[in-house]
Structure 1
């Protein structure tokens, strides 16, 4: 994306360090938002972070045992709106994989046809005209891509699409966006090679907007379908014009959240400083973590904050000056370990570190006599009256991880004939971005 303007700016505000992460899978296909309590209170951007945040009961904010309390907030579906929540087990699917391959080939052929048409122009003026026409086509196609993505999210929220159908379509949209970006890259090169012509500024704007249709969880879903990684549990949460996807892979909690209602596509251009300030306002804990990278053009700015816990990436819209898209990667080794419940039963010491719906739950199993971690112990999960499902076996540290349901759930540890159970485990409140706190209207007034 060489056509994009890259800005590097230091964060100017100073806030106490706070951190944590957002929602993940429930086991039923649809659940009421009333089962997901909002935080009772959260510090504002200017408020100092309390020395202890919340307790282990439901409806309280997360705490940490990592020296300093921190809560890395998350963008989620709007408060006051009932989302559709579910947990999807993603696996290899030959039909979907072949369908994606065909779609990729079709898009590549259209790009090749556009290039041949430009290169066959007999005059310099005609070459310029054809380059502009090809850019215009991508611009129109991007508008259609936005409508397509919004429609599929809304169809899932209303129950018209299954989780698999939603994810398959989102992966297709991401693949098309990547092809459009590659086409723009080639068009920019052809423009630079054309006498008296240069790359139009709107190419940069388009390239940033095309990034909106990609995401880290979608990439993992694609790799799983193609057989490049093992089956993966994906948390899916949707409501009209909003979507949350989350999963656990390679020792990381990975999350992407879209709030289409916050994206004002017809707004004036947005500067990098305003976008950085909007990110700080939404995530005040980022101010002391690192200097962000700002990349953007036109009405969208992408802000990236690489920090000790992982990476936060936000997309900020002109007009609303709000974060409308969030990508997060957080190392599970640094994820807050507070809000735990435990039991000692049948030779097991079992601890469950709770998070908010869709967040990563850590289950630790120790020998109650020696305190040593127990490897190879089967752990199951059940929520909302559904049958127990195996989430895995403990590793050498006695640990296995899963995604938190939205409803109270049960964790069972089994090593026949020994069994230990922790029942009625409540998820904690989602640590919403500050621009969502106190907004119960279901909209954020923008975009």
Structure 2
């Protein structure tokens, strides 16, 4: 746990160990041989920056990486929640159909949905605070966020169906209020939350998820079969008033926050409102950034990227005794590419573990028949270990500085 979210660049320390596992060493510790000329970089931000929203520097935070797999308890709970949401939606539709005044009935249903959205906000804030304070573990926090995501999507489905039914009954739909509700609910959803919910229910393969929270914000990241997904919410930057942003104002806010991405954009779509969402596509990725109308700041973003775009060229390379270990480094929560090959270029399959420097490591899979593996980067100095038979190779390093948005 760190007292501050800022991840300062530090000098990379690299050590390589190639000894038989279990061999006798002084005081029971393996003898470490320094690589004569390790190739390292200076820890600066990635050379191909894809700007990301980061958590507040002045808020205490806590981070962890957790494997999400099928969990019978949460899966049953999700099915029960879905049935409950559908029943409440059916009742809402019946109230609108049976109302003498469909306009008033629609307004009341909007009130109910708004109250539930506010409840989701309180539930999320409580979960973020508990994790940041060390009172909840990563699994519990991810379960809550996945449940909030499912509930928000169910409420959005209810809003759409209620609006359609009310129109059929002759009601005049207040479009601004309807859109505002949709935007509010969208704040509590995200691609990583959805991935977590699907993995817990068995609908998607297991995934390792990075989670970092402050009392007012959260960053989630995951590696999927299709690439890298990341989402960040900053409650401290959320400032909304009654006036809607224009399309140009929303575009300008995102262009200022993500200058590198803006320069290579291929398409932009803007949904103007009090809470505006700007969607941008570029070669190998997508960005959805949400902007508040009062301060015109991005307070939420979601990225989907191919690994080729999300990865970096910042390498730590070590060659010794016929093995060449390469780590394409990244920032906290970012994807790092691991390669283990012989000096002749042949891939080497090896077991991998990762953990804090000097601390306990956890298994994270293997490099596979191609000698490669993608992992999520921890937010503190860590040691990556590759084990092939009786040979152990390890590298200790710091994460890179994040390619932060310009505002903040």
The TM-score with structure 2 as length reference comes to 0.87
Match of 2:383 in 1: 410
Structure 1: gaps (5+ residues): 1-29, 40-54, 64-69, 437-447
Map 1:289-368 to 2 at 5 A: 289-297=265-273, 299-368=274-343
Does the CA contact (< 8 Å) of 2:357 and 2:383 recur in 1? no
Residue 252 of structure 1: which of 227, 235, 241 is its match? Answer: 227
Aligned length in residues? 378
Answering whether residue 34 of structure 2 is matched by residue 56 of structure 1, we say no
CA distance in 2, matches of 1:275, 1:85: 31
Residue 208 of structure 1: which of 179, 183, 201 is its match? Answer: 183
CA shift at 1:402, angstroms? 0.9
Residue 155 of structure 2: which of 175, 180, 184 is its match? Answer: 180
CA distance in 1, matches of 2:97, 2:5: 59
CA distance in 2, matches of 1:167, 1:367: 39
Does the CA contact (< 8 Å) of 1:31 and 1:83 recur in 2? yes
CA shift at 1:208, angstroms? 1.9
SS in 1 for 2:41: coil
Distance 1:34 1:152, change over 3 A: closer
CA distance in 2, matches of 1:226, 1:116: 31
Match of 2:405 in 1: 433
Structure with higher RCO (Cα < 8 A, 6+ apart): 1
Match of 1:36 in 2: 7
CA distance in 1, matches of 2:206, 2:217: 25
264-273 vs 239-248, greater mean Cα deviation: 264-273
CA shift at 1:261, angstroms? 0.9
Match of 1:159 in 2: 134
**Residue deviations 1:26-72 (CA, integer Å, cap 9, x gap):** xxxx2343772169xxxxxxxxxxxxxxx8123x2222xxxxxx311
Could you say what the CA RMSD is over the residues aligned between the two structures, in angstroms? 2.0
**Residue deviations 1:383-414 (CA, integer Å, cap 9, x gap):** 24322322222234321111111222222222
Answering whether residue 370 of structure 2 is matched by residue 397 of structure 1, we say yes
CA distance in 2, matches of 1:274, 1:35: 29
Does the CA contact (< 8 Å) of 2:97 and 2:166 recur in 1? no
CA distance in 1, matches of 2:200, 2:267: 36
318-327 vs 394-403, greater mean Cα deviation: 394-403
Map 1:19-168 to 2 at 5 A: 30-33=1-4, 36-37=7-8, 56-58=41-43, 60-63=44-47, 70-121=48-99, 123=100, 126-168=101-143
CA shift at 1:334, angstroms? 2.7
Answering whether residue 180 of structure 2 is matched by residue 239 of structure 1, we say no
SS in 2 for 1:71: coil
CA shift at 1:360, angstroms? 0.8
Map 1:182-201 to 2 at 5 A: 182-195=157-170, 197-201=172-176
CA shift at 1:149, angstroms? 1.8
Distance 1:264 1:276, change over 3 A: same
CA distance in 2, matches of 1:117, 1:277: 43
SS in 2 for 1:292: strand
**Residue deviations 1:341-379 (CA, integer Å, cap 9, x gap):** 1111232111011111111111111111x22223x3222
Distance 1:112 1:231, change over 3 A: same
SS in 1 for 2:187: helix
CA distance in 1, matches of 2:246, 2:5: 38
SS in 1 for 2:78: helix
Residue 247 of structure 2: which of 264, 269, 272 is its match? Answer: 272
Distance 1:386 1:90, change over 3 A: farther
CA distance in 2, matches of 1:346, 1:391: 25
The TM-score with structure 1 as length reference comes to 0.80
CA distance in 2, matches of 1:179, 1:34: 33
